[in-house]
């Protein structure tokens, strides 16, 4: 935790009001989430400038806030609400946020960090690693989606007396990993895969590869980089300055898949052990393997590694199975990428049901690659056993064009309302329905409507 004096040192800011000795316990960038005692950091967005809500957060009990030099603020009006309010003037509030995040990371320099990046699977891998390590260690773990150049500094500001941290590094523009690296300073890093997520902004897969692999640049201490050997790009990565450890789905032997769990055998400290994971999907087996390897790095006992894998749970809307009356749904609507969509379709294909139905919507942020990626995704159905596909959105017409050859019934619509109407008309007892699409496509609304009307 930082006091105001340290914040001033980190930002080269000017204290306009308040005491340098005051300690800040929590930081917020969303004015709606500010609680009593929080420090507010107003950011200028494309549509709204957070400075406009300073009066509101002060009235709601904020202990202080940053103010950009360029923003005209009535200081007397603010101090009339709270005479002790901390007001720190800085050149740029976003840069100030990054600076205090870096400052607190350096203040907690002895804390080891496991950093996790990749095009898909960051959050599930992070949670698996954290669940295993937390059996023996007090952890700081990334919350929600606080993994970019705005969220990661806030996570770093929470570094205090924990044993270590497990932090995500998410990027969606070229150069962002350079910012994150200055805060992370990891001892161990994981790259889950290199895919086409955010390719619309990143322009091509080569840029994504270069940006993700930058996470190795600031490795220190153990300098261990874990790479997914099953990824076509990562398996050829070379770097003599770090200790590369490869992991692969092939390490899992005798995989058994049930409706809501998987079992497999894997070497832990050189001994073959039987492991159960209470979620489905081969990607979760891969997450368990990298979690096991990191557990070994930090000397977690075999018993606790196995316990941690078993205690892992998916986040809401990530391959979440829900029983609705006489049929089942798999809610995978948290977001979508080409890789996660294909993985989800394959995972659900292994489940027992009378019929399998996929409700799919556009995968966004693919730019000029969108048509080709959706067209290729339709070919996945060649090796799957789906009875019905219901797709909607402009880009999904490309998937439909190729999937038609491989699926018995396929329906294409423009809107989620039309897709939901068709699903309700055809759903039968014993069906299992998989839902996937980017957040903006509102697939989750279909799921919520079904839960409302069919939940037992």
Structure confidence at residue 197 (pLDDT): 83
Model confidence at 415: pLDDT above 90: yes
Structure confidence at residue 315 (pLDDT): 75
Q: 232 Cβ partners below 8 Å, 6+ apart?
A: none
Model confidence at 98: pLDDT above 70: yes
Model confidence at 282: pLDDT above 80: yes
Kindly list the structural domains of the chain, giving each domain's residue range(s) and its CATH number in brackets, ordered by start. 2-90 (3.40.1390.10), 108-311 (3.40.1190.10), 320-454 (3.90.190.20)
Residue closest to 246 by CA, chosen among 323, 191, 313, 321: 191
Average pLDDT over the chain reads: 95
Residue closest to 54 by CA, chosen among 104, 16, 11: 16
Model confidence at 190: pLDDT above 80: yes
Q: How far apart are CA 168 and CA 115, in angstroms?
A: 6
Q: pLDDT tens digit string along 197-206?
A: 878 888 899 9
Mean pLDDT of 35-49: 94
pLDDT class for 31, splitting at 50, 70, 90?
Answer: very high
Mean pLDDT of 435-447: 96
pLDDT class for 456, splitting at 50, 70, 90?
Answer: low
E strands within 84-185?
86-90, 112-117, 139-141, 164-168
Strand-strand pairing, 409-413 and 388-392: parallel
Model confidence at 316: pLDDT above 80: no
Mean pLDDT of 252-265: 93
Size of the chain, expressed as the number of residues it contains: 456
Q: How far apart are CA 51 and CA 172, in angstroms?
A: 25
Residue closest to 177 by CA, chosen among 155, 198, 208, 199: 208
**Rounded to two decimals, what is the model's pTM?**
0.88
Mean pLDDT of 284-290: 96
Q: pLDDT tens digit string along 135-177?
A: 999 999 999 889 999 999 999 999 999 999 999 999 989 999 9
What is the percent of the chain where pLDDT is above 70? Answer: 100
Q: pLDDT tens digit string along 8-20?
A: 999 999 999 999 9
Q: How far apart are CA 321 and CA 433, in angstroms?
A: 10
């Amino acid at each position: 935790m930082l006091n105001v004096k340290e914040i001033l040192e980190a930002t080269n800011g000017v204290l306009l009001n308040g005491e340098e000795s005051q300690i800040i316990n929590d930081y917020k960038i969303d004015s709606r989430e500010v609680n009593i005692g929080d420090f507010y950091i107003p950011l200028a967005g494309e549509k709204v400038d957070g400075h406009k809500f300073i009066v509101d957060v002060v009235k709601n009990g904020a202990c202080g806030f940053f103010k950009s030099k360029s923003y005209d603020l009535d200081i007397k009006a603010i101090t009339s609400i709270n005479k002790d309010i901390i007001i720190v003037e800085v050149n740029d509030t976003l840069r100030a946020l990054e600076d205090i995040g870096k400052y607190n990371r350096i203040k907690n320099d002895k804390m080891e960090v496991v950093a996790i990046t990749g095009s898909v699977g960051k959050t599930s891998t992070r949670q698996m690693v954290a669940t295993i390590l937390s059996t023996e260690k007090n952890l700081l773990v990334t919350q929600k989606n606080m993994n970019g150049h705005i969220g990661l500094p806030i996570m770093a500001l929470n570094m205090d007396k924990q044993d270590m941290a497990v932090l995500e590094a998410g990027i969606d523009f070229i150069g962002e990993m350079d910012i994150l690296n200055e805060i992370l300073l990891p001892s161990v890093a994981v790259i889950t895969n290199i895919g086409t997520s955010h390719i619309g902004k990143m322009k091509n897969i080569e840029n994504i590869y270069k940006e993700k692999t930058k996470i190795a640049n600031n490795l220190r201490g153990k300098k261990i980089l874990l790479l997914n050997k099953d990824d076509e790009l990562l398996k050829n990565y070379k770097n003599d300055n770090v200790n590369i450890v490869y992991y692969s789905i092939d390490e899992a032997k005798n995989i058994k898949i049930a409706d809501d769990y998987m079992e497999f055998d894997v070497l832990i400290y050189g001994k073959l052990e039987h492991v159960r994971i209470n979620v489905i999907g081969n990607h979760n087996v891969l997450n368990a393997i990298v979690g096991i390897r990191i557990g070994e790095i930090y000397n977690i006992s075999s018993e606790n590694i196995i316990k941690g894998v078993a205690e892992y749970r998916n986040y809401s809307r990530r391959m979440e199975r829900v029983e609705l009356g006489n049929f089942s749904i798999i809610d995978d609507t948290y977001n979508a990428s080409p890789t996660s969509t294909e993985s989800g379709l394959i995972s659900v294909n292994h489940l027992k049901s009378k019929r399998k139905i996929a409700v799919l919507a556009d995968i966004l942020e693919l730019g000029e690659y969108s048509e080709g990626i959706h067209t290729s995704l339709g070919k996945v159905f060649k090796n799957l056993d789906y009875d019905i596909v219901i797709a909607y959105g402009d880009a999904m017409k490309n998937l439909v064009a190729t999937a038609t050859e491989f699926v018995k019934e396929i329906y294409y619509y423009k809107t989620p309302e039309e897709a939901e109407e068709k699903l309700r008309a055809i759903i039968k007892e014993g069906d299992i329905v998989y839902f996937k699409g980017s957040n903006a496509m509102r697939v989750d609304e279909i799921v919520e409507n079904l839960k409302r009307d069919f939940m037992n």
